A and B are shown apart, each in its own frame.
Chain A
């Protein structure tokens, strides 16, 4: 945050402020004594905000204008609204009256990482405490002014009011902020009882919606820095290719081309090479890139081939790998089973494909670095840049734009380092723009997985043994210092070990390739839930039970799962038989602290074509911030899960990615989107994730519906709706 006191409007009084804290506690600005200073114009992420700052998240103008910082990158998940709602609830201000500013990347905000559906669950208390601390400071300032006890005052609607009926009076936050800013920040402010919430739990309209309807919202590609040049980077046609030679003169012959430099893009232990053409327009840079005719050394990467990956995954089926969870004795129970069932499931590698191609504006001047653009993880970028450039954190400025989608891709900072690697060689500000082809082909990718499932049944036909072995790449094994002696965290997400089957074991077998892999919306839940929930359906079918009743019965010790299933049963009229040529399927999965269940309906028309008609989703994500955002995220997860289930996979051949753009790496569009109904379980459980939990159940619910209609069990994704 830059401060420039000389921009102060003359007609405004000067006020005092508490500075943002430093040090580790900081994040929250608690336990720090006030440092009084005059009110200022804060230049935050390019926007000027005048006022006194009560803590890093709240600035109040003497005329009462309230600015709340959204410190989390907004990529569609709704933090631009949900984070300020947490502050506003405790601050006792109306959301209509607050101005929201996107914060830059800075350690004073605590973690700004957006991933793992963690924003609301991570900030539920800390941000409310920030709001409450400011409210208490304002209340105390009023009490001092009136010479009363603070308990005689209450905060409401941007004002502190004296309770006494005889001399009822109030002061606005603007009138109090100067005095409040001199006070110590309370270390343990009192939080409101959820029953008194006025804002949290309300489906308030998003404040970023209007600016996303008239072109005003500024995404990374829209960032403008004076004097900025544009770069397009020629990248290897195979993953890992090395630059041998290129025609710099030909590129520089294109009018507007100014520089041709090698670029580097560190991805885990690899350093991907590229050749950047920098020009005064994107088109010139792109034309220059085409003129480069880079000669690549592509040797040694033939192993990156989907057929070989399939063989590699299969060859590991005889391995036992790491134990995840075990109960009873699977081997013995399986051995003694009256009947057994075995199935193999497989899911593909995928690209993230956010609608905004990867990009970043970078500038390196001496030992100063500044970047502008869409990142999911400003602080990781700060750390990576500190290391890469060998300069202190204070010398790095990170301006966060809106993100045109993230889905995990923008949490990884290879694209930032690449932009900086170019900027520092040319000593100019440069916007690096990836093409859609770069985005689709360069990774990192969602890892493809294979799943081996086995079940054993007793004489009565009840399941008594279950084994789920997952084989695939471990994200965590890619870092240079990875500990490969233990099961990596997260790989077994959404494999539901709550099912009451007396003997079960879940295991993970790591597979390694040279393909860089990354978090992809809902991460391993996006693959595991398909295998597990489809196989649970197979077990229910084999046991002769209704798949929804089977789940209820075998999850009866888990009341939250049962509640979701009961709501699904009711909302979908599950018990009613469907007419011919229709099918329904159910799936349920836990992901990032929430449980989502879905019932999918399919229908076959007279020409034999199957249509995904409708999906009903029920989500239990605990206490809610904005129910409309929860619905929107679940709708979006359903569409993204559907694309992953029925559209193109990423296929590797001889080190190359065969897909390149949306013509051969297709997305579900409006005509293939089913009717979607989302219901939210109301409870007082602690908040769970929202941005991802709606995705995992979609593919198994749909596949189970197709089985119900046709008897055709789908065990490999993607599949084509016109072929089932």
Chain B
């Protein structure tokens, strides 16, 4: 066991865990933020997607000891009131079905739009390739990303 200080959603958490523990389980079961999901344990499905210093990261394969002082953002940290433009677009387009993969989908989409504010369909396909949705909400996700992109660029112009 070892002590780590994790900065999650701009708040410091001190945890005492096995250094090899994947960050996913620390976030979920030690810190108690359950929005980040377990789907495969080998970075194949994207359900565990978070941001490390803003970059899209699959935390089910990342040992907690490898985080260092990087800032962690989870689904709970992207907005206060579910009002991030990507979340709003998700609700408007009625994306979720079972909803289990959607935290990861949204985190991937937020990272994509941060890097590429006006993605094409091909850009979206590429960026979202690591996220599986077994319910098959892909067409709505694509639509929601385009509509969030419009909202976000509108915000910038004004």
Which of the residues B37, B40, B82 comes within 8 Å of A404, measured between beta carbons?
B37
Q: How far is the CB of B156 from chain A (nearest CB, A)?
A: 22
Q: How far is the CA of A78 from the CA of B17 in the complex (A)?
A: 39
Q: Which of B74-116 contact A (CB under 8 A)?
A: 74-76, 79, 82, 87, 90-91, 94-103, 106
Q: Which A residues touch B25, using CB under 8 A?
A: 281-283
The reply to whether the CB of A345 lies closer than 8 angstroms to some CB of chain B is no
Q: With A283-B21, A670-B124, A671-B125 in contact, do A213 and B38 touch (Cβ < 8 Å)?
A: no
Which of the residues B74, B125, B134 comes within 8 Å of A670, measured between beta carbons?
B125
Task: Judge whether A670 and B128 touch: CB under 8 Å.
Answer: yes
Q: Which of A587-613 contact B (CB under 8 A)?
A: none
Task: Judge whether A355 and B41 touch: CB under 8 Å.
Answer: no
Closest to B33 in A: A215
The reply to whether the CB of A255 lies closer than 8 angstroms to some CB of chain B is yes
Q: Which A residues touch B33, using CB under 8 A?
A: 215
Q: How far is the CA of A5 from the CA of B115 in the complex (A)?
A: 54
Q: Which B residues touch A435, using CB under 8 A?
A: 41
Task: Judge whether B79 and A214 touch: CB under 8 Å.
Answer: yes
Closest to A691 in B: B97
Task: Judge whether A221 and B38 touch: CB under 8 Å.
Answer: yes
Q: With A221-B37, A405-B100, A635-B139 in contact, do A213 and B90 touch (Cβ < 8 Å)?
A: yes
Q: Which A residues touch B22, using CB under 8 A?
A: 283
Q: How far is the CA of A671 from the CA of B126 in the complex (A)?
A: 7
Task: Judge whether A213 and B94 touch: CB under 8 Å.
Answer: no
Task: Judge whether B138 and A355 touch: CB under 8 Å.
Answer: no
The reply to whether the CB of A146 lies closer than 8 angstroms to some CB of chain B is no
Task: Judge whether B101 and A210 touch: CB under 8 Å.
Answer: no
Which of the residues A75, A205, A213 comes within 8 Å of B82, measured between beta carbons?
A213
Which of the residues A355, A406, A433 comes within 8 Å of B101, measured between beta carbons?
A355
The reply to whether the CB of A209 lies closer than 8 angstroms to some CB of chain B is yes
Task: Judge whether B40 and A436 touch: CB under 8 Å.
Answer: yes
Q: How far is the CB of A400 from chain B (nearest CB, A)?
A: 14
The reply to whether the CB of B36 lies closer than 8 angstroms to some CB of chain A is yes
Q: Which of A662-680 contact B (CB under 8 A)?
A: 662-663, 667-671, 673, 675-676
The reply to whether the CB of A218 lies closer than 8 angstroms to some CB of chain B is yes
Q: With A283-B25, A405-B100, A670-B141 in contact, do A355 and B95 touch (Cβ < 8 Å)?
A: no
Q: How far is the CA of A78 from the CA of B30 in the complex (A)?
A: 32
Q: Which B residues touch A283, using CB under 8 A?
A: 17-18, 20-22, 25
Task: Judge whether B76 and A215 touch: CB under 8 Å.
Answer: yes
Q: How far is the CA of A435 from the CA of B39 in the complex (A)?
A: 8
Interface string of B11-36 (1 = CB under 8 A from A): 00000011011100100111011111
Which of the residues B90, B98, B137 comes within 8 Å of A635, measured between beta carbons?
B137
Closest to B76 in A: A215
Most chain A beta-carbon contacts within 10 A, residue among B32, B100, B106, B136: B136
Which of the residues B32, B44, B137 comes within 8 Å of A632, measured between beta carbons?
B137
Q: Which B residues touch A628, using CB under 8 A?
A: 94
Closest to A406 in B: B98
The reply to whether the CB of A637 lies closer than 8 angstroms to some CB of chain B is yes
The reply to whether the CB of A222 lies closer than 8 angstroms to some CB of chain B is yes
Q: Which B residues touch A256, using CB under 8 A?
A: 18
Q: Which A residues touch B101, using CB under 8 A?
A: 355, 404
The reply to whether the CB of A219 lies closer than 8 angstroms to some CB of chain B is yes
Task: Judge whether B97 and A632 touch: CB under 8 Å.
Answer: yes
Q: With A357-B39, A661-B40, A662-B40 in contact, do A281 and B17 touch (Cβ < 8 Å)?
A: yes
Task: Judge whether B94 and A205 touch: CB under 8 Å.
Answer: yes
Q: Which B residues touch A74, using CB under 8 A?
A: 98
The reply to whether the CB of A208 lies closer than 8 angstroms to some CB of chain B is yes
The reply to whether the CB of B42 lies closer than 8 angstroms to some CB of chain A is yes
Closest to A221 in B: B38
Interface string of A629-669 (1 = CB under 8 A from B): 00011011111100000000000000000000111000111
Q: How far is the CA of A210 from the CA of B89 in the complex (A)?
A: 11
Q: With A355-B45, A436-B41, A673-B139 in contact, do A402 and B129 touch (Cβ < 8 Å)?
A: no
Q: How far is the CB of A73 from chain B (nearest CB, A)?
A: 11
The reply to whether the CB of B135 lies closer than 8 angstroms to some CB of chain A is yes
Q: Which B residues touch A76, using CB under 8 A?
A: 96-99, 135
Q: With A640-B134, A640-B136, A661-B40 in contact, do A205 and B98 touch (Cβ < 8 Å)?
A: no
Closest to B74 in A: A215
Q: How far is the CB of B139 from chain A (nearest CB, A)?
A: 5
Q: Which B residues touch A224, using CB under 8 A?
A: 32, 34
The reply to whether the CB of B1 lies closer than 8 angstroms to some CB of chain A is yes
Task: Judge whether B136 and A356 touch: CB under 8 Å.
Answer: no
Q: How far is the CA of A75 from the CA of B140 in the complex (A)?
A: 18
Contacts A356-B98, A669-B131 aside, 20 further interface pairs with beta carbons under 8 A come to: A76-B96, A76-B99, A206-B94, A209-B91, A212-B96, A212-B102, A213-B96, A214-B35, A215-B33, A216-B35, A281-B29, A283-B21, A357-B38, A628-B94, A632-B94, A639-B133, A663-B42, A667-B134, A670-B125, A671-B129
28 A-B pairs within 8 Å (CB atoms) are namely: A209-B95, A213-B91, A213-B95, A215-B35, A215-B74, A218-B34, A219-B37, A222-B34, A224-B34, A230-B29, A283-B20, A354-B100, A355-B135, A356-B98, A402-B98, A404-B99, A405-B100, A406-B98, A433-B38, A436-B44, A632-B94, A639-B135, A661-B42, A662-B45, A662-B132, A667-B134, A670-B124, A673-B139
Interface residues of A (CB under 8 A from B): 74-78, 205-206, 208-219, 221-222, 224, 230, 255-256, 281-284, 287, 353-357, 402-407, 433, 435-436, 628, 632-633, 635-640, 661-663, 667-671, 673, 675-676
9 shortest interchain CB distances as A-B pairs: A215-B35, A639-B136, A212-B99, A404-B100, A76-B98, A76-B97, A636-B136, A662-B44, A212-B96
